[in-house]
Chain A
């Protein structure tokens, strides 16, 4: 009996030892970030959902604690300027409808969400482009483009610390189910599903990379390896490419569904973008 208890303790220690935490994440000394939360009911594989921040080295983690040191904030600043610039010559700017970026605080936390008017689930990028084309009558931005990634980072930055809370029921449920199915579907020559790495093997190394749970609460993420912001769909594309499959396109209905499902797996974690990852 005693032996069994000790074994159980050893297993517990090993499990948490993989990402031993010295401190909690607090940004600028004033925004506490929830990096561990109870897992939603529909994720039976986890008892806890864990932000990717917990899987990074102390040096990388520290970069996110101070906006001065977070290189992602440079892009947020660029978006702050773009916010009040006309979207086309003589046209409206974001600021004409939304007084300040802070007026949109909280938006990031509930996207992707169902859009009644268009009868589809929209990501925040799609919502931004809807504003640009339908309200301001300007040319849309590329789904993955500097302007879009910057603006999406600004939307995250003003919502930091708020819990991710995307709806999985109601009209969005069908899309959510599609995303769930994709999550567990094996793709590519390597026949890997999202779950094979991020559910079965999080905390383990895949060659030189430390696998996280694949949470997207920190997106867009500034990656040290390419020194720029990386959007969620860009990351999905990279993952699917790594399975040696033909990937879906950023902004495609497939990736929108997957984003909704993956975001919902992180319900309860804080919005953390722009995060710093390696």
Chain B
């Protein structure tokens, strides 16, 4: 079980209709690859965020499969077009079954 996992996102408060906006997301997570060994030589079990999804008003914006080579505290930045006011929802899926979410509203006009 990964500790101190905190998602954070940055979405502009407002945008013009059809404008490209930049969204930044980051989740603090050790992203243990499953390849490393501890001091006693035992393999440290894999524990990563394996999927990241962003939706806007229920519609998928991106859906990312993540692999063990991705470094600690994975950061995603992407561009999206916003046709109308609404809510971005972000979901991260952990190997241990935990699901972390965050959401942010955006106004258009």
Q: Residues of A at under 8 Å CB distance from B?
A: 68-69, 71, 74, 77-78, 227
Contact = CB atoms under 8 A, between A and B. Distances in A.
A148 to B, nearest CB: 17
Contacts of B60: none
A68 B73 contact: no
B44 to A, nearest CB: 16
B87 interface: no
A249 B79 CA distance: 47
A69 B6 contact: no
Interface of B: 4, 6, 8, 10, 24, 26, 28, 71-73, 75
Contacts of B71: 227
Nearest to A77: B6
A77 B5 CA distance: 12
A74 B26 CA distance: 10
Nearest to B28: A74
B4 A68 contact: no
A78 B6 CA distance: 10
Given A68-B26, A78-B4, A227 B72 contact: yes
A68 B75 CA distance: 10
A71 B73 CA distance: 8
A269 to B, nearest CB: 28
